[in-house]
């Protein structure tokens, strides 16, 4: 019993409520929004220290013993995700101070961001499948509103696709949860883990595993279920794009990792090989989609898809090293991807467009911004010694160890294509001459005048450098997290101490 | 009863996916509604339908004696209905705004965010 576990949910919830009460007080809202985000980040670190020292932590809500009540569980992966969520919301809430216009602020942007975080943290913390559905809906509905807030044509068009496909995924998820309850009489994930391993109906379990794969696959944007992502992520303001790009699809990846390491591991040869094949297609189709695009954020959106492929590649390989690679990759990717979207927002702030054709010459005027773009961009492509290199290195080595050569080849080729995309953005936006003939007449405000936009970018770039240059402790943490995922007995016993013996 | 409900659930899913694949955005909303109903009814049916056996202990009993209806699927469905209601309301408004802004209800015309610009 550890009350610390409710904090990642309660902090954004309380902050959100206070922000709603302060509807008309814009300055107070802005201050509190950042404060709430910082509190969430700190909670993440405290939680990690606790779990690192004392093992997996559990709280049974209302003191109803598992499997009857709702359980919140924090293992190392959960803590890592909560910290990353906190880091992103700190960056984005500071960035929003300049990026989000007063109109959107007056229609509740700040409370929505906090409620979104509540849904995300809840999805990370919960140990109960139906509760997970509820957190998904909390997260989805606030993301729907954030996406459509402002009501521009692109936002509404992209919003409809996003809403419909995600609601379909929820419908499938709900049906799967109901069916699994009818089959096993429980929705507690640790209890299900035991029941499913002993189940006498492997056929239905397999079918349910596929329903979960589809439901979470839509949310994680894996091949061939990702079409909502590239048609919606480039439409809202950069701050919203950035937090979506960093966190939302990763919640899908997290739940995939959770259910396919804890529950559905009876027929690894089938399920995890299927995941591996999907990972390959996700990587390749995402990066090819990016190559056809000529708009800053659309290129980045397609790269999210291709990167999701790497994350579930580790799950598909299903060895401790591969899962550690996945965890490391998620850590690296969330930081880097959010940062790239934030940079695109600064370019838009300076030039008023995301079209590569209309941009140019940024490096000449803003060399610092160029460097701040290059750090996450090269990291995304996996150039050593930045964070992306180590993440890919671990995954590729894991692939070689169990002789899945084709996925290794795909991963390496996609990395090269990623570098091509990033150099395309670099050449078009930063390097080539400004296509607007009369560029001297343009206003070129100094970067010092937009500190709220630059600070988060610089901070996240620093984090990328630290993960890359001092990767040892991060990797030890990822390996430990992977150990816990590969040996679910610790998780099961933490939730339900009466379970004995080995699986 | 279960067999009848099973056919109803199947029919609802079929209708839902048919509606979701239409081009009109209004029919999308109807499809989403039907999808929610189908899932809820599926949980209801699969959670064992029984009549006249409330999960209530008779006076003087210490434990609940079978047969009794399982209340949990109904709790799931109630939660899902509430969530579905909110989401439907939002989706309806979204579709209305999109229709007003884009000027069409044809999904095939809403491609400006998908085409490479």
* ipTM of the prediction: 0.93
> Taking CB atoms and an 8 Å cutoff, what residues of chain A touch B83?
134, 137
Are B35 and A144 within 8 A, CB to CB? no
Comparing alpha-carbon positions, the chain B residue that sits nearest to A181 is: B47
Question: Which residues, 6+ apart, have CB-to-CB distance to A267 below 8 Å?
Answer: A202, A206
Are A167 and B90 within 8 A, CB to CB? no
> Taking CB atoms and an 8 Å cutoff, what residues of chain B touch A175?
38-39, 42-43
**Residue A35 Cα distances to A18, A30, A47, A270, angstroms:** 12, 9, 18, 47
Average pLDDT over residues A327-339: 94
Q: Does B99 touch chain A (CB under 8 A)?
A: no
- Residue A191, pLDDT above cutoff 70: yes
**Reported confidence tier of residue A360, pLDDT bands at 50, 70, 90:** confident
**Residue A160 Cα distances to A146, A182, A223, A299, B24, angstroms:** 13, 33, 20, 21, 12
Distance CA B114, CA B117 (A): 8
Q: Does B25 touch chain A (CB under 8 A)?
A: yes
- Residue A438, pLDDT above cutoff 80: no
pLDDT digits (tens, 9 = 90+) for B31-66: 999 999 999 999 999 888 878 888 888 788 888 877
> Taking CB atoms and an 8 Å cutoff, what residues of chain B touch A133?
80
Supply angle C-alpha A405, A257, A460, rounded to 5.
90
> Taking CB atoms and an 8 Å cutoff, what residues of chain B touch A115?
none
Average pLDDT over residues A461-480: 92
Distance CA A182, CA A205 (A): 12
pLDDT at A397: 94
- Residue of A108, A149, A164, A291 to mutate when probing chain B, most B C-beta within 10 A: A164
Q: Nearest 10 degrees: CA dihedral of A436, A437, A443, A449?
A: 60
The candidate with the shortest Cα–Cα distance to B83, out of B28, B32, B14, is: B32
Average pLDDT over residues A147-153: 88
> Taking CB atoms and an 8 Å cutoff, what residues of chain A touch B19?
none
- Residue A503, pLDDT above cutoff 70: no
Nearest to A171 among B28, B36, B94 (CB): B36
pLDDT at A359: 87
- Residue A67, pLDDT above cutoff 90: no
- Residue A113, pLDDT above cutoff 80: yes
pLDDT at A496: 84
| Number of Cβ pairs < 8 A linking chain A and chain B | 113
Nearest to B87 among A157, A167, A293 (CB): A167
The candidate with the shortest Cα–Cα distance to A6, out of A71, A55, A83, is: A71
A170: number of Cβ within 10 Å: 25
pLDDT digits (tens, 9 = 90+) for A129-138: 999 999 999 9
Distance CA B51, CA A318 (A): 46
**Reported confidence tier of residue A365, pLDDT bands at 50, 70, 90:** confident
Q: Does B39 touch chain A (CB under 8 A)?
A: yes
Q: A57-60 and A71-74: which strand pairing?
A: antiparallel
Burial class (CB in 10 A: 0-12, 13-18, 19+), B51: exposed
pLDDT at A498: 76
CB A348 within 8 A of CB A354: yes
Q: Is B22 helix (H, G, I), strand (E, B) or coil?
A: coil
Whole-structure pTM value: 0.94
pLDDT at B110: 82
User: What integer best gives the mean pLDDT of chain A?
Assistant: 91
- Residue A72, pLDDT above cutoff 90: yes
pLDDT at A332: 93
* Distance to chain A for B47, nearest Cα, Å: 5
Proportion of chain A above pLDDT 90, given as a percent? 69
pLDDT at A406: 92
Question: Which residues, 6+ apart, have CB-to-CB distance to A344 below 8 Å?
Answer: A238, A241, A296, A297, A300, A354
Are B90 and A163 within 8 A, CB to CB? yes
> Taking CB atoms and an 8 Å cutoff, what residues of chain B touch A236?
none
Distance CA A265, CA A287 (A): 30
Distance CA B79, CA A442 (A): 55
pLDDT at A299: 92
Instruction: List the single range of A445-449, A467-471, B93-97 with lowest mean pLDDT.
Output: A445-449
pLDDT digits (tens, 9 = 90+) for A475-501: 999 999 999 999 998 899 888 887 766
pLDDT at A118: 96
CB A173 within 8 A of CB B39: no
B104: number of Cβ within 10 Å: 12
What are the tokens at A108?
């509740």
Proportion of chain A above pLDDT 70, given as a percent? 98
Q: Does B1 touch chain A (CB under 8 A)?
A: no
Distance CA A455, CA A458 (A): 5
- Residue A99, pLDDT above cutoff 60: yes
């Amino acid at each position: 019993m550890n009350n610390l576990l409710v904090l990642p949910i309660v902090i954004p919830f309380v902050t959100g409520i206070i922000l709603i009460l302060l509807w008309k007080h814009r300055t107070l809202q802005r201050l509190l929004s950042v404060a709430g985000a910082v509190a969430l980040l700190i909670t993440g670190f405290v939680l990690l220290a606790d779990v690192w020292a004392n093992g997996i932590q559990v709280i049974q809500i209302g003191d109803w013993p598992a499997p009857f009540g709702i359980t919140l569980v924090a293992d190392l992966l959960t803590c890592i995700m909560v910290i990353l969520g906190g880091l992103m919301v700190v960056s984005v809430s500071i960035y929003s101070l300049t990026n989000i216009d007063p109109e959107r602020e007056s229609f509740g942007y700040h409370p929505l961001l906090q409620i979104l975080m509540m849904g995300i943290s809840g999805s990370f913390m919960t140990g109960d499948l139906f509760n997970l559905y509820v957190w998904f809906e909390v997260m989805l509905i606030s993301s729907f509103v954030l996406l459509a807030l402002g009501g521009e044509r692109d936002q509404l068009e992209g919003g409809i696709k996003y809403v419909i496909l995600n609601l379909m995924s929820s419908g499938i998820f709900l049906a799967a949860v109901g069916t699994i309850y009818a089959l096993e009489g429980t929705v507690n994930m640790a209890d299900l883990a035991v029941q499913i391993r002993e189940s006498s109906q492997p056929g239905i379990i397999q079918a349910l595993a596929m329903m979960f794969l589809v439901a979470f696959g839509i949310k994680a944007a894996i091949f061939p279920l990702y079409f909502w992502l590239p048609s919606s992520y480039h439409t809202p303001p950069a701050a919203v794009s950035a937090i979506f790009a960093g966190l939302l699809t990763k919640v899908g990846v997290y739940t995939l990792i959770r259910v396919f390491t804890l529950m559905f591991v009876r027929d690894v040869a089938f399920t995890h090989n299927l995941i591996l094949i999907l990972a390959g297609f996700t990587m390749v189709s995402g990066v090819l989609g990016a190559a056809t695009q000529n708009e800053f954020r659309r290129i980045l959106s397609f790269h999210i898809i291709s990167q999701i492929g790497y994350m579930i590649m580790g799950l598909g390989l299903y060895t401790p090293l591969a899962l550690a690679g996945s965890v490391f990759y998620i850590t690296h990717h969330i930081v880097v991807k959010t940062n790239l979207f934030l940079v695109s927002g600064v370019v838009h702030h300076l030039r008023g467009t995301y079209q590569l054709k209309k941009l140019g010459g940024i490096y000449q005027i803003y060399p610092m911004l160029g460097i701040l773009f290059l750090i996450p961009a090269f990291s995304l492509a996996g150039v050593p010694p930045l964070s992306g290199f180590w993440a890919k290195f671990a995954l590729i080595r894991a692939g070689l160890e169990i002789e899945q050569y084709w996925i290794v080849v795909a991963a390496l080729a996609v990395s090269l294509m990623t570098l091509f995309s990033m150099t395309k953005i670099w050449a078009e936006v930063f390097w080539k001459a400004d296509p607007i003939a009369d560029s001297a007449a343009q206003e070129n405000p100094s970067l010092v005048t937009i500190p709220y936009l630059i600070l988060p970018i610089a901070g996240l770039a620093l984090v990328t450098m630290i993960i890359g240059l001092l990767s040892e402790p991060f990797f030890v943490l990822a390996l430990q997290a992977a150990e816990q995922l590969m040996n679910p007995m610790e998780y099961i016993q933490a939730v339900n101490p009466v379970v004995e013996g080995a699986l | 009863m279960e067999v009848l409900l099973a056919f109803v659930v199947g029919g609802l899913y079929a209708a839902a996916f048919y509606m979701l694949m239409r081009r009109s955005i209004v029919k999308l909303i109807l499809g989403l509604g039907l999808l929610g109903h189908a899932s809820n009814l599926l949980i209801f049916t699969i959670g064992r339908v029984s009549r006249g056996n409330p999960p209530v202990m008779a006076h003087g009993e210490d434990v609940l004696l079978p047969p009794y209806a399982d209340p949990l699927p109904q709790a799931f469905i109630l939660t899902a209905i509430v969530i579905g209601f909110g989401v439907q309301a939002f989706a309806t408004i979204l579709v209305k705004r999109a229709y007003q802004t884009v000027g069409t209800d044809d999904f095939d015309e809403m491609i400006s965010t998908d085409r490479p610009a």
